Amino acid sequence: MTKRAIIGKAVGAILTGTLLLFASIPASAQRTISGQSALALSAYYNGTSVSAEAFYQQYTLGGFWETGAIFSDNSLPLSIGGRLYYEHIAAAGGYLWRLAATRSRSCNWYAGAGAFAGIEWLDPMGKLPEYIDLGVADIRFLYGVYARTMLEIFLSPRFALLVQGAAPVNFSSVTGFFHWQAGLGIKFMLN
């Protein structure tokens, strides 16, 4: 079974489980109101490893804005053999619009975009042999934009499950321009 088939089956199982869970929970009459804030913690799979992010979010009438931090652990194959491991550590912020919601707002679908800036750290653990010279600095400035979609499912008035996907575009990375991410997270309402 190929890696792509395994990932496809895992994503299908997660989405099916989420829909079954949502169907079995009575509506909580959650109303996300303008000015209400939340903390969202998520884990992503980016094709090579699991990454993490934490965002402070505040709702508006048509969606929410977010600001937070992203940590992405990545790797790519080298033409001479082996893998180059690298990390992206960045501050990020953006806005997501509510595209659809249930009447009780216990399930909401958002999409939006944002920007990020931070560092790209090449070979942070020093795994490359000394004779390999990448020709660039090990730590570089990183910046770019991201597109994101998120399904928010409230399991209680103060707690939500997140199913999301993102596509960051890195303008300054030497390791690649575009990366996809799929992940799960949790959201805690703060007020």
Range with the lowest mean pLDDT among 24-38, 40-54, 83-97? Answer: 24-38
Q: What is the chain's mean pLDDT, rounded?
A: 81
CA distance to 41, 92, 95, 108, per residue, from 60 (Å) = 20, 18, 10, 14
Convert the pLDDT of each residue in 166-176 to its tens digit: 988 888 776 66
pLDDT at 127: 66
pLDDT at 69: 95
Convert the pLDDT of each residue in 129-162 to its tens digit: 666 666 666 788 889 999 999 999 998 888 999 9
Find tokens 């912020």 and name the residue.
93
> What domains can be seen in the chain, in order of their start residue?
3-189 (2.40.160.20)
Convert the pLDDT of each residue in 60-108 to its tens digit: 988 999 999 999 887 777 766 667 777 889 999 999 999 998 888 889 9
Q: CA-CA distance, 148 to 103, in Å (whole number)? A: 23
- Which residues are within 8 A (CB) of 132 and not within 5 positions of it... i.e. 6 or more apart? 78, 80
Q: CA-CA distance, 144 to 191, in Å (whole number)? A: 31
pLDDT band at 116 (very low <50, low <70, confident <90, very high): very high
Find tokens 């079974």 and name the residue.
1
pLDDT at 27: 47
Q: CA-CA distance, 83 to 15, in Å (whole number)? A: 32
Amino acid letter for position 70: I
